[in-house]
Amino acid sequence: MPPEEFLVHGRHILEWISEYLGSDGRYPVLAQVRPGEVRASLAPSPPWEGEAFEQILRDFEEQVVPGLTHWNHPGFLAYFANTASSPAILGDLLATAVNANAMIWKTSPAATEVEGVTADWLRQLLGLPGDFAGFINDTASHNTLYALAAARARAFPEAGEDGLHSLPAGRIYASEHVHSSIDKAVVTLGLGRRGVRHLPADGSYRMKPKALRAAIEEDLAAGVRPVAVVAVAGTTSIASIDPLPEIADICREHGIWMHVDAAYAGVAGIVRELRPLLAGWERADSIVLNAHKWLFTPMDCALLYCRRPEALADAFSLVPPYLRTREADEARDLMNYGVALGRSFRALKLWFVLRYFGGRGLAERLREHCRLARRFAGWVQSSDRWQLMASTLLGLVVFRYRDPGLGPDRTDLANERILDAVNASGEVFLSHTVLEGRYVLRLSVGNLRTRHEHVERAWRRLELEAARLG
Amino acid sequence: MPPEEFLVHGRHILEWISEYLGSDGRYPVLAQVRPGEVRASLAPSPPWEGEAFEQILRDFEEQVVPGLTHWNHPGFLAYFANTASSPAILGDLLATAVNANAMIWKTSPAATEVEGVTADWLRQLLGLPGDFAGFINDTASHNTLYALAAARARAFPEAGEDGLHSLPAGRIYASEHVHSSIDKAVVTLGLGRRGVRHLPADGSYRMKPKALRAAIEEDLAAGVRPVAVVAVAGTTSIASIDPLPEIADICREHGIWMHVDAAYAGVAGIVRELRPLLAGWERADSIVLNAHKWLFTPMDCALLYCRRPEALADAFSLVPPYLRTREADEARDLMNYGVALGRSFRALKLWFVLRYFGGRGLAERLREHCRLARRFAGWVQSSDRWQLMASTLLGLVVFRYRDPGLGPDRTDLANERILDAVNASGEVFLSHTVLEGRYVLRLSVGNLRTRHEHVERAWRRLELEAARLG
């Protein structure tokens, strides 16, 4: 593509993005297409002759955009809301253009070192100790796999050479509210679905330390080897936080790897008054935390903090430990700390975000999101028709429509209908979860551009649809 | 960031990129910094107050760029050369801005369906049969892990529930020239380094079918369970291609999963006269192929073709098979076919590439790269000072400086010195490998902007540095 053309099309795209980012209301948040509709609109076969870029862009707008669920919309209040912020979009554009690959230090020293520095800057903002080494990978799921692989390497040093087949069973402990990526990682690592023990939680959806201790002792007595305890800081359903100090005590006592899944809530450590919620995580062996969730950075940007990077190398370096030379921190070959060999320059967009907003700018925005969530929770609490289903610690509100005249099953159905109708409006998008067998609604404030009006809009819509039920 | 600012900075970045992409000679291809130099130039702590975007950009240019190895430079002839082409950069910019997540169909129908269509278009261009389902993940390494996890699920159906600990040992077979990502995947899966059997290759660096058959039979007799055979189409060192039809026969005979690592060479299937090199791969159970290598698409964009997608679901879905409902192709929840839950919209940039270049445009460029490589190989062959170390099937030339007066060890050293001097020039960047214990050089033509003059420049530089030795 000649440079003039690149500039013309690029400018057009920038204008499209600028309008897109400001276009509150132009697009329904949740895509309103049927399965197969997008596919059917596309040619069944690729073109043999190249096409004009204008045509490709037109098709993007007409065929692709209507089929998108708009994660970057301020009315996106589902799952854990996230953002592609402007500085991050521009930083990522540069990363894509230079196409750096930080597989080994030499193949892009700056990509390797900026990754180290950026992860360390964030560590400082979070108040984590300096002995955590930070790595940036694509997803929390892969980071969890890497961390638990390191834990497995420590629990079963012989497995790296010989495999697991002649060893005792291994176990990972987590509460029943742990994210499915833990189970996936454990199955991938060859420990099987039974390799995870899901412990019943307390009334606040937190792991019970007593139950953890009992499970470990029972397993030890039965010859099952503990591999890791996964504590969650911000469960997927309700953002509850496991009792981290007690879990850390048990892990230390038994010499078990402590992993903290802080994919959502970890960034709250930037906000001084929220940091106490995370107390105890600084004693973990590994922590997973997503910048592409609540830190205004587009996918993919997931951090893995590990205070035993040599255990990651034990898990993934193909050179046996006794032959390995310790790399200087500066010239670390990052491919040796995970599965992926190719490593794109994901740190750059986060470096842009940390600099553009600054620690204060990030903290203020996170604080404001929590304030909006509390305000919404207040509306819920002050209404007879609704009830809060969990406390609102951060930016997530878990609630449920109630009608004493309906039994629990019909109340489930009513909530499902309300949610479907609210989402079909296209104005906002909320999600649901199941708590103690009951269908409950979730409103997650986390998009940079979500303001009071969006949360209010969600509330009005919910009220309207609830009224229609009656 | 206000829209006007976004547009101003965005335009500035586009101009920088446009100049960057045309700036042959402005930057040394291989970064010329010392370990720690970039890190030392950056602030040790993050800013608490946000900074001006102009300052961030200036620091990117002054602190980051000098530390980059320029993968997108036409003089990049190392490893397997790749490209962030202009249409792909622009397509990816849109993907970043919309920040779509194709974890389940509903969370971005278009991202899910465009991924399916794009992978299928490429399948058609490659001439692979229609029963291969295509998935786009970040790296070949993760795709390999996923494919071998599916093979493991087939070989050990009980492992998903119970883990590997009470099962027989499992084995994956590959030639000694297989990529290290295979070993990494096998270790991650809990089969241990011994879970891979590296078979000695023939004189053309290809797997020997007889050796494969013997190894399988020996293992079966010893109670070791075959899991998969990994055949390589384009080895990392020399781009040799294993005898795929014979390997397919053996796999069928024993009912073993056949995986083809075509990370580099797979895209050659687009070129009609090269496609016969890949004959036999259409019988594989799974194929890995990188669009971010030789298909003008920036990282991350790695394809996984699998004709048993249900085996991927067996490996990664947390719902036991008997409870699972088969998803319609259109509404597939892609998170169930790999480890990662979050799935960014990687297909979009490849969709842009396939449309902008068209099948013919891609084929012509790949053909031209092969022609340039053959021309370089011709220069090597016609010189007394140099020798070809492997045949040049595609865009890679493997060669070595020779001097009958030096013994093999001193010749190794001479080659190493020549390479270091050539790379220190900053004009081009070549890499090396070790073949039969000997240090040999590699020149890989694969960047979209590499022309005759760059290959000639590499040759002159090599000749110059070789002459300086004497």
| Closest CA relative to residue A289, chosen from A86, A122, A173 | A122
Does the beta carbon of A130 lie under 8 angstroms from any beta carbon of chain B?
A: no
CA angle B204, B206, B208 (to 5 degrees): 115
Test mutation, B98, B178, B327, B349, chain A, max A CBs within 10 A: B98
B98:A65 CB<8 A: yes
Q: Which of A36, A142, A358 sits opposite B47 (nearest CB)?
A: A358
CA atoms within 13 A on the CB side of A400: 22
The CA-atom distances, in angstroms, between A178 and each of A228, A278, A436 are 13, 16, 14
pLDDT for the residue numbered B73: 96
Is residue B325 scored above 60 in pLDDT? no
Question: Which residues are CB-neighbours of B176 under 8 A, at least 6 positions away?
Answer: B198, B199, B200, B201
Tokens linked to B77: 């002839």
Does the beta carbon of A318 lie under 8 angstroms from any beta carbon of chain B?
A: yes
B99:A35 CB<8 A: no
Whole-model pTM above 0.80?
yes
Helical segments of B65-134, H only? 86-98, 109-126
What is d(CA B280, CA B128) in angstroms, rounded to the nearest whole number? 10
Model pLDDT for residues B180-221, shown as the tens digit of each residue: 999 999 999 999 999 999 999 999 999 999 999 999 999 999
Distance of CA A204 to the CA centre of its chain: 21
| Closest CA relative to residue B229, chosen from B250, B245, B210, B203 | B250
What is d(CA B134, CA B122) in angstroms, rounded to the nearest whole number? 9
What is d(CA B108, CA B69) in angstroms, rounded to the nearest whole number? 35
CB B125 within 8 A of CB A46: yes
What is d(CA A43, CA A27) in angstroms, rounded to the nearest whole number? 24
Side by side, which strands form the sheet with A431-435? A386-388, A396-401, A438-444, A431-435
DSSP B68-85: ---TTSTTB-SSS-----
Main-chain dihedrals φ then ψ at residue B297, nearest 5 degrees: -115, 130
Per-residue pLDDT of chain A in tens (470 residues, 90 and over written 9): 999 999 999 999 999 999 999 988 889 999 999 999 999 999 999 999 999 999 999 999 999 999 999 999 999 999 999 999 999 999 999 999 999 998 889 899 999 999 999 999 999 999 999 999 999 999 999 999 999 999 999 999 999 999 999 999 999 999 999 999 999 999 999 999 999 999 999 999 999 999 999 999 999 999 999 999 999 999 999 999 999 999 999 999 999 999 999 999 999 999 999 999 999 999 999 999 999 999 999 999 999 999 999 999 999 977 655 555 555 566 788 898 999 999 999 999 999 999 999 999 999 999 999 999 999 999 999 999 999 999 999 999 999 999 989 999 999 999 999 999 999 999 999 999 999 999 999 999 999 999 999 999 999 999 999 999 86
What is d(CA B291, CA B440) in angstroms, rounded to the nearest whole number? 27
- Strands (DSSP E) contained in B262-322 are 286-290, 302-306
Pairing status of strand A196-199 against strand A257-261: unpaired
Is residue B116 scored above 70 in pLDDT? yes
The class that CATH gives domain A101-344 is alpha beta
Q: Which of A17, A139, A140 sits opposite B97 (nearest CB)?
A: A17
Q: What is the 3-state secondary structure (H, E, C) of chain A?
A: CCHHHHHHHHHHHHHHHHHHHCCCCCCCCCCCCCCCHHHHHCCCCCCCCCCCHHHHHHHHHHHHHHHCCCCCCCCECCCCCCCCCHHHHHHHHHHHHHCCECCCHHHCHHHHHHHHHHHHHHHHHHCCCCCCEEEEECCHHHHHHHHHHHHHHHHCCCHHHHCCCCCCCEEEEEECCCCHHHHHHHHHCCCCHHHEEEECECCCCCECHHHHHHHHHHHHHCCCEEEEEEEEECCCCCCCECCHHHHHHHHHHHCCEEEEECCCHHHHHHCCCCHHHHCCHHHCCEEEEEHHHHCCCCCCCEEEEECCHHHHHHHHCCCCHHHCCCCCHHHCCHHHHCCCCCCECCHHHHHHHHHHHHHHHHHHHHHHHHHHHHHHHHHHHCCCCEEECCCCCCCEEEEEECCCCCCHHHHHHHHHHHHHHHHHCCCCECEEEEECCEEEEEEECCCCCCCHHHHHHHHHHHHHHHHHHC
Side by side, which strands form the sheet with A257-261? A133-137, A302-306, A286-290, A257-261, A225-232, A170-175, A196-199
Test mutation, B8, B11, B69, chain A, max A CBs within 10 A: B69
Question: Which band of pLDDT confidence, cut at 50, 70 and 90, is reported for residue B332?
Answer: confident
pLDDT for the residue numbered A442: 97
pLDDT for the residue numbered B330: 62
A138:B114 CB<8 A: no
CB B71 within 8 A of CB B299: no
Is residue B327 scored above 60 in pLDDT? no
Residue entry with tokens 């012509």: B364
Pairing status of strand B302-306 against strand B133-137: antiparallel
Question: Which band of pLDDT confidence, cut at 50, 70 and 90, is reported for residue B363?
Answer: very high
Q: Which of B13, B36, B79 sits opposite A94 (nearest CB)?
A: B13
The count of CB pairs under 8 A between chains A and B is: 478
How would you class B319 by CB atoms within 10 Å of its CB: exposed for 0-12, middle for 13-18, buried for 19 or more?
exposed
Residues of B in contact with A140 (CB under 8 A): 341-342
User: Is residue B300 reached through a cis peptide bond, with omega within 30 degrees of 0 on the bond before it?
Assistant: yes
Closest residue in chain B to residue A167, using alpha carbons only: B165
Question: Which band of pLDDT confidence, cut at 50, 70 and 90, is reported for residue B323?
Answer: low
CA distance A250 to chain B (A): 25
Model pLDDT for residues B139-183, shown as the tens digit of each residue: 999 999 999 999 999 999 999 999 999 999 999 999 999 999 999
CB A194 within 8 A of CB B196: no
What is d(CA B24, CA A128) in angstroms, rounded to the nearest whole number? 43
pLDDT for the residue numbered B395: 97
How would you class B350 by CB atoms within 10 Å of its CB: exposed for 0-12, middle for 13-18, buried for 19 or more?
buried
Does the beta carbon of A122 lie under 8 angstroms from any beta carbon of chain B?
A: yes
Q: How many CB atoms lie within 10 A of CB A326?
A: 8
CB A298 within 8 A of CB A84: yes
H or E, element range at B261: strand B257-261
Test mutation, B165, B289, B333, chain A, max A CBs within 10 A: B165
